[in-house]
Structure 1
Amino acid sequence: MSRLRPVQLPGPASRGGARGRAAEAPAPAGDGGWAAAVSEDDQLRLVARLYYLDGLGQSEVARFARVSQAKVSRLLALARERGIVRITVTDYEPRRRDLEEEIRARLGLAEVAVLKGGGSAEPADLRRAVGHFGAPVVDGWLAAHDVVALAGGRTIHELVHQLPEAGARGLTVVQAMGSVDSSASIYDAQEIGRVLVRRLGGTFLSLNTPAFIPEKRTRDALLELGQVRNVHEHLDRARVALVGLGTLANSVFVERGTLDAAMCADLKRAGAVGEVCGRFFDARGHECPTTWRDRVIGVTLGQLRRIPLVIAIVSGTDRTAAIEAAVRGGLIKALVIDEAGAAALLAGAPTPSPKKAKK
């Protein structure tokens, strides 16, 4: 059990006396005997004093107070419940405000949150830290009755699961991209969207199509379906979007077999440096002119540019070029990132102010 200090206890006893008696106290024969003669409040204070202030282990406390070790654990919990133990912890600041200001000034973003990674460079740990500490920040950026376009992704998954259970926000959450493949994943927008509306309250509009269609003609026919048109109409009304930024090197489409080697080669030749909601873009933030562009079902880059607050939720140091290009193209307006990723971003070349991009 971790011990946090300082701990305030009413009427502390002598530190040295407690330790001396602890060494001499006989082992308990049960929960009776001497302990039974002590009032419950005194017993709670004694056990709390020995454990929190004198630093005795639970087994030592049990011998001193002549109770079982299991009862010590129960008494410590009860002491906290009754306010006999009041634990105060100096607040941990998870945000790097200095880096936030520097990124905001450098990139001209509306909102930035740079979050400490907890000392680990492991990708899973970074995603967990960004999700845990980024959730209350993003929650503060969401207003009641917002229309929210939502992408999938591992870091977004972590963040959404850490949102407070408000339950009455009245959001309309809209799936921003079709499903990557037929196998359901907890990282897909469809699954994350359901969690989001459960936690904050609202309705979820799913896009029940694949994200990528092999033929443009079939893609165009699907776009004319009433359900798909309804989703796109809601995407046009979105005030907020929660998106991730990918690259060809770590694309979920490559990982799950949707994007083959020939398509990757085409996108490389077209200068792809990043991907958002299935749309690959070049260093200027313009969509790469390949056949892939005509086969994606999801929010368009033009729609993203018109959404007032597009929040990129990113972890790791390998997205610098994608972030810079997304800013140049006006694709994102806010950034949530870990401090290592932020440092890598600031170490890069200065990013020019966004220019009017193609729709």
Structure 2
Amino acid sequence: MAERYAVDEVATDQIRLLTKVARMYHERGMRQPQIAQQLHISQPRVSRLLKRAVELGIVRTTVLAPRGVYAELEEQIEQAYGLTEVIVADTDDHADESHVMRALGSAAAVYLETTLMGGERIGVSSWSSTILATVEAMHPRPTPVADQVVQMLGGVGNVTAQTQATRITGRLAALTGAQAVYLPAPGLLASGDMRQMFITDPSIEPVLRACDDLTMALVGVGSIEPSPLLRESGNAFAESELPGLRSAGAVGDVCMRFFDSAGAHIESAFDERVLGIAPATLMRVPRRVAVAGGLRKSNAIRAAVRGGWVNVLITDLQVARSLL
């Protein structure tokens, strides 16, 4: 009604001109200089008239999202959790986990190819099925778009899995034209004392220091139950340790830093054995991108965004809906 009253307060001849200019521009596709010439008015006046037509509600812009694009859902999640950006990959309700992983990998690959502009220092978690899918879907960039790709967490699982983690870091570096910085050590050590020995090692200390200056972190989100891929690769921690994590309230992890349902970091003896980026250091990275999906992980993903572990989320349609 307010728009209706505003229009009524404008002279009829002015409304006629506003409508005429708006139709010429929006419906007939005429450029502003053409309109100015045909109506014998200045181009700045045409611009003002078009702006006024919007203010009065004569012109209303509607964006129709194509099928498979979920812009409104993405915006709702961004607002609900205070995220910088959300990307929802198009998946159907009956998609199996391998299909979801491929969809997430493709969406994340496009995101990285679009937003990496040069000079980035990218941290990557060592072992994640979604990051593996992302790297496999990416295309090499014609010019360097990153300076460094840093392995933020030591290898997870058996020797084969740890080698795969190194390969992911190297492949992402090659794709982005960056220098690869490897963390040549296990991600979880037998004791806190052993970790103290590792962090002073000349080959380890510079890598951990490189984590202090990251501009972007690319991570997966783990659930309290290891994924089938991680289980096949050799769990980083024994089954006997799960009850202790559960009793502490753990629902998931990022870079093996566990958190509860509110996203609060759970400090424990387990935490003291992790060789990788510290929680406070990770939280300081300006762009923290999680590529994570599958309903099995929905509680962990919700906790990760609640706790601010990530500020960019690339997920599938089912998880996106569950977040609201």
How does the TM-score come out when normalised to structure 1? 0.67
CA contact (8 A) 1:150 1:175 kept: yes
Q: 115-124 or 252-261, which moves further after superposition? A: 252-261
Which SS does the other structure have where 2:295 is aligned? Answer: coil
Which residue, out of 141, 148, 161, partners 2:136? 161
User: How far 1:307 sits from its partner (Å)?
Assistant: 0.3
2:175 corresponds in structure 1 to 199
Q: Within 2, Cα distance between the matches of 1:266 and 1:182? A: 22
CA contact (8 A) 1:176 1:189 kept: no
Which SS does the other structure have where 2:196 is aligned? Answer: helix
Which residue, out of 318, 324, 328, partners 2:306? 328
User: How far 1:187 sits from its partner (Å)?
Assistant: 8.9
User: How far 1:142 sits from its partner (Å)?
Assistant: 2.1
User: How far 1:150 sits from its partner (Å)?
Assistant: 0.2
User: What residue ranges of structure 1 are gaps of 5+ in the alignment?
Assistant: 1-90, 347-359
1:337 equivalent to 2:315? Answer yes
How does the TM-score come out when normalised to structure 2? 0.74
Which SS does the other structure have where 2:218 is aligned? Answer: strand
Amino acid at match of 1:95: V
Q: Pick closer, same or farther for the CA change 1:294–1:112 going to 2, 3 Å.
A: same
- Cα offsets for 1:236-263 (capped at 9, x unmatched): 1001000000111235766523322321
Q: Within 1, Cα distance between the matches of 2:175 and 2:207? A: 22
Post-superposition, which runs of at least 4 consecutive aligned residues in structure 1 deviate over 6 A? none
CA contact (8 A) 1:157 1:187 kept: no
Larger relative contact order (Cα-Cα within 8 Å, sequence gap ≥ 6): 2
Q: Within 2, Cα distance between the matches of 1:186 and 1:295? A: 17
Mapping 1:103-114, distance limit 5 Å: 103-114=77-88
1:274 equivalent to 2:252? Answer yes
Q: Pick closer, same or farther for the CA change 1:170–1:325 going to 2, 3 Å.
A: closer
2:263 corresponds in structure 1 to 285
Amino acid at match of 2:244: D
Which SS does the other structure have where 1:232 is aligned? Answer: helix
Over the aligned positions, Cα root-mean-square deviation in angstroms equals: 2.1
Q: Within 2, Cα distance between the matches of 1:186 and 1:338? A: 27
- Cα offsets for 1:311-352 (capped at 9, x unmatched): 010121122222222223221111001111111222xxxxxx
* Greater gyration radius: 1
CA contact (8 A) 1:170 1:201 kept: yes
CA contact (8 A) 1:120 1:126 kept: no
CA contact (8 A) 2:155 2:161 kept: no
Q: Which has the higher helix share?
A: 2
CA contact (8 A) 2:295 2:318 kept: yes
User: What residue ranges of structure 2 are gaps of 5+ in the alignment?
Assistant: 1-64
Amino acid at match of 1:220: Q
Q: Within 2, Cα distance between the matches of 1:315 and 1:282? A: 18
Which SS does the other structure have where 2:236 is aligned? Answer: coil
1:223 equivalent to 2:196? Answer no
CA contact (8 A) 1:130 1:159 kept: yes
1:75 corresponds in structure 2 to none
Q: Within 1, Cα distance between the matches of 2:262 and 2:293? A: 22
Work out the number of aligned pairs and report it: 256
1:308 equivalent to 2:286? Answer yes
2:272 corresponds in structure 1 to 294
Amino acid at match of 2:151: Q
Which SS does the other structure have where 1:173 is aligned? Answer: strand
